[in-house]
Chain A
Amino acid sequence: MSQIMENPKGGCVLAGINSVLGAIDRACPILHSGPGCCMQTTAADQGQSGHKSSCFVSGVSLPSSNMLEKEVVFGGTDKLRTTIQGAIDIIDADAYFVLTGCTAGIIGDDIASVAEGYWEKGFPVYPIETPGFAGDSNLGYEVVWNTLIDQVIEKEVPKDERLVNIFGIVPYHDPFWSGTLEGIDRILSRLGLRVNTFFTKYQGIETIRKCSGAALNIIVNPWLFKGPAKKFEEKFGVPSIRIPGLFTGATDTSAFVRAVGKALDLEEKLVESVVESEEDYVYHYLGQAIGVVSWKRFAVVADANNAVGLTRYLANDYSFTPVLVIVSEPIFRPEDKERITGQIQNLEYAVPPKVLFLTDQYEINQAIREEEREITLLVGSSNEREIALEKDIQFILAAFPMNERLVFNRTYAGYRGSLTFTEDIYDNN
């Protein structure tokens, strides 16, 4: 069920799978695919996400069966076997994941039984049988977690009442993922919690194997991870809470801290003391630059998570005027659209903005072009720079794909991230 798209944001499901695995320390994807899929899938997500890519293996470092005409006609499982064997022999990984390109998917190579052969010999080789054409990058995030739930995460892990798992921040599909996860980790650590971010702190396969011992799954995303969360609870008995948008700024971040406190029944005094000191930190700075950033009527074009967070911060905490919000990733379930719209429109004082769900660049540009109300600030991805230049409005590059910026640990999320966001909005012109 995928749509024709102009200037699509992100790649196929293979790209999503590859990127998420790339963010797991010492995990090695092996592509059973055509000769270009390693580069293409890496470029589709990692390559458009602030120029940071997996340090372990990515792009042309990924083992690949490079299926050519011969494999298309006669099948590629022999080539896949020697590729897996070579990967095991030379790459020092903790786990190997065999990925399916369109070519392998269409001709129907049985990668599961090939992987099983290695599994029986004691090598940690896991098949992922979802071919590239099955969906987009976001689906890749869920496919990886479904695979981990089915094949990697252990049952019977002792419960740790202070351990939480963070889901919903998609590595590389959100350029600020590292900084965001580090920020969440910092805040939750202040509540005395131990945090599985899975993609920072060198947490790797071992952390994933034992993550069923967590007391709570925290999904920071308004729609992703519905299926895996249910499966996780059924198989491992870990309940989930959903934070319906990536919090930026004091108001929403404090709501997040309180939601976690409530779900884990943490001492209210502790929760409130963390909230108070974090909010003081933010306002201590905001108080030093009052009226410096001129008032804006803004539009946001971003994935749902950031569209919610950035809009709510600018409207609720910074008293800017929201005009138009475009959620630019494919979302199919009506209930998800409703939840996202609700988050964006249910504001404290501001008049609710128009919310559109558009993934096609032409349609996004047209919506901004035809917007009758004046827009003086556009928060978007590299793709929206063109329309910002055309309409001569201030533009902030804050969403995926992000090509004119190098991002290591920067984030706009959380208490401190909102200060960075506000710094970046400042324009002396």
Chain B
Amino acid sequence: MSEVRYSGVRESRPNRFNDLGTTGREAEEQFKKGCLKRADRSFAQGLQCQQINSMAALMSLEDSVFISHSPQGCVGCAIMAVDMYRVGQIHRGIKQVKNPRLLVTNIDQKSVVFGGEEKLRAAVKKAVERYHPKLAFIYASCASGIIGDDIDAIAADLQTEYPDTIMVPIHCEGFKSKICASGFDAAFLSINKYILKKQSVPKEKGLVNLFAPTTVSYADQREMERMLSLLGAKVNYIPFYSSLEKIKRIPAAEASTSICKVFADEFMKTLWEDYEIPYSHTVMPIGIRNTDKWYRGIAKVLGKEEEVEKIIAKEHERIEPLVAELKSRLQGIRVFICGGTGRSFAAAALIDDFGMKLVGLETPTYDADAQVDIEYLNEIHKDYVVDIANMQPFEQVNLVNKLKPDAFIGVPDWAAKLGIPTTHVLDGKRSTMGYDGLLYLGNKIADQLQNPGFNKKLAKHVKLPYRDSWYEEDAFKYIL
């Protein structure tokens, strides 16, 4: 019997839940007993579709073109990756900053009726003739999926026509998943299928794959590389700001690790299955505890357990006085956290470094991986609300308004309008990770929370769109 391969849709994994309102303790118990059930929201606000993630993951690759087989609106969010690409070039000292080569086929009424194959062919032709790229990524969309355009077959055909460009179709149709991180998996599945092709390559001693999503700043890249080089590793930083050559080096690595919990986690499993590359999947290296954990994880895979302890001890010597000072400023502050899977749990661990108390946690998905973090958090924090939600600001403001935390960590837009002091652990243009990142991030958090004047004044003038009655209701009333 042939093995069933992972489809790239995160919901296809058992025991993974996206719609849940609970507490830390209850979540842990119910999950253990297998009593959590798949739910839905009868009312919801917008999500992030997986196509956004598939695009963002790859749009900084060199010698590549990106073809979105979709109407024009589906490349809207590409601006985030485009901006990170442009700013990333500036940070890396590049003077002639380039745009990514992104083409949209612009599926229209005619394509909906007659199919969009011709447009896709024409777009690929244009892209190849203009840039002679090494890679052409072809992204599916809701529209292309529903009208039934076979992007795989078209790509295969185009491959014979343009042998010098590797065609990589990616199945990131938005309607296939509620979990946007599925889009990362869709991208990596295609990279494996069309570029790596299970071919074995000679191993490079000390080479480590470091998988990084688009939201990781250059400062963070350098810190991660510094930390890994202290273990004697050579870093293959991918796919952000990398190239076909670096992708092809993936199977040559001795180990893999990732900066984000939901980025390349599935791909690293595949790399183990197909190329026998061991990996470390731990946490996002934000804060002392998580940075240590992340560092020990990869060190163990590399057989550098003793070395890493020495380095960690030395780093702690440097960092701990600062953390002690921050702790004196932040001790006892009650915090509500909202973020993506990686950063929400990283922030929750970070606040423990500073002696802050967790009162609410909003994170997109609950699964075995989340359970590990929740078990850890339950040991420290007695009572906190858990909202398994991809944003859903209406639930967030309801909870924040009831819990009245001293601080909010996450996208500040809504809590700010309630006058709550806000700060964030996500900053794709500055430093947040590793030991060096903690210096910048810790000061930012303490300073921002100490000086909440902007939010307090703003809240007097700007009202959120919700009815007063909503704040009295059960925040989870629409989860059915």
Contact = CB atoms under 8 A, between A and B. Distances in A.
Interface of A: 1-8, 10-15, 26, 28, 31, 34-45, 47-48, 55-57, 59-69, 71-72, 79, 82-83, 85-87, 89-93, 101-103, 105-107, 132-136, 361-362, 383, 385-386, 389-390, 401, 403
Given A4-B104, A7-B102, A35 B76 contact: no
Contact of B76 (A6, A28, A47): A47
A89 B393 CA distance: 15
Contacts of A38: 45-47
A90 B72 contact: no
Contacts of B176: 68-69
A333 to B, nearest CB: 18
Q: Which 10 A-B pairs have the closest CB atoms?
A: A38-B46, A36-B49, A86-B43, A44-B76, A12-B73, A11-B73, A40-B76, A35-B47, A82-B42, A43-B76
Contact of B79 (A13, A43, A92): A43
A122 B143 CA distance: 34
Contact of B465 (A42, A48, A57, A106): A57
B46 A106 contact: no
Given A6-B103, A47-B77, 6 more contacts: A4-B104, A4-B106, A11-B75, A44-B79, A60-B48, A68-B175
17 contacts: A11-B76, A42-B76, A43-B79, A63-B43, A66-B178, A71-B175, A79-B42, A89-B467, A90-B394, A90-B469, A91-B466, A102-B71, A103-B175, A132-B71, A132-B73, A361-B99, A386-B98
A136 B73 CA distance: 8
Interface centre among A15, A85, A90, A390 (most CB of B within 10 A): A90
B199 interface: no
Contact of B46 (A31, A45, A55, A103): A31
Contacts of A7: 82, 99, 102
B77 A36 contact: yes
B423 to A, nearest CB: 19
Given A2-B72, A386-B99, A56 B104 contact: no
B76 A39 contact: yes
B105 interface: yes
Given A60-B47, A60-B391, A385-B97, A34 B465 contact: no
Interface residues of B, number: 71
A85 B43 contact: yes
B134 interface: no
B178 A403 contact: no
A15 B102 contact: no
Interface of B: 42-52, 71-77, 79-80, 82-83, 86, 95-99, 101-112, 119, 122-123, 126-127, 130, 141-143, 146-147, 174-178, 180, 390-394, 414, 462, 465-467, 469-470, 473, 478
A4 B467 contact: no
A106 B111 CA distance: 11
A2 B106 contact: yes
Contacts of B394: 61, 90-91
B72 A12 contact: yes
B49 A39 contact: yes
B465 A39 contact: no
A362 B129 CA distance: 11
A102 B147 CA distance: 10
A86 B391 CA distance: 17
A383 B76 contact: no
Contact of B111 (A133, A386, A389): A133
Contacts, number: 237
A133 B104 contact: no
B441 to A, nearest CB: 23
Nearest to A15: B73
Nearest to B68: A8
A106 B147 contact: yes
A82 B42 CA distance: 6
Contacts of A102: 71, 107, 112, 141-143, 146
A5 B104 contact: yes
Contact of A69 (B73, B110, B175, B390): B175
Interface centre among A7, A34, A72 (most CB of B within 10 A): A34
Interface centre among A28, A42, A83 (most CB of B within 10 A): A83
A249 to B, nearest CB: 31
Given A60-B393, A92-B465, A93-B465, A36 B96 contact: no
Nearest to A38: B46
A43 B74 CA distance: 10
A106 B146 contact: yes
A378 B209 CA distance: 42
Contacts of B390: 60
A90 B45 contact: no
Contacts of B103: 4-6
Contacts of B96: 386, 389-390
Contacts of B111: 133
Contacts of A390: 96
Given A4-B106, A102-B143, A35 B467 contact: no
B478 A64 contact: no
Given A7-B102, A47-B76, A39 B46 contact: yes
B46 A35 contact: yes
B106 A5 contact: yes
Contacts of A132: 71, 73, 143
B99 A383 contact: yes
A233 B225 CA distance: 66
Contacts of A134: 108-109
Contacts of A101: 142
A43 B77 contact: yes
Contacts of B75: 8, 11, 40, 44
Contacts of B51: 36
A41 B73 CA distance: 6
Given A4-B106, A90-B470, A37 B46 contact: yes
A305 B256 CA distance: 52
B106 A82 contact: no
B393 to A, nearest CB: 5
Contact of A83 (B44, B73, B126, B143): B44
A92 B119 CA distance: 43
A5 B45 contact: no
A218 B394 CA distance: 39
B274 to A, nearest CB: 28
Contacts of A5: 72, 103-104, 106
Contact of B393 (A26, A61, A133): A61
Contacts of B72: 2, 5, 8, 10-12, 15, 44, 136
Contacts of B478: 86
Nearest to A107: B146
B346 to A, nearest CB: 21
Given A6-B101, A7-B99, A67 B175 contact: yes
B163 to A, nearest CB: 23
A79 B141 CA distance: 21
Given A2-B106, A39-B76, A34 B174 contact: yes
Contacts of A28: 465
Contacts of A69: 175-176
Nearest to B53: A36
Contacts of A40: 49, 52, 73-77
Contacts of A59: 46
A20 B469 CA distance: 28
B75 to A, nearest CB: 6
B49 A133 contact: no
A285 B41 CA distance: 59
A79 B46 CA distance: 13
A82 B73 contact: no
A188 B439 CA distance: 54
A68 B73 contact: no
A129 to B, nearest CB: 13
A10 to B, nearest CB: 7
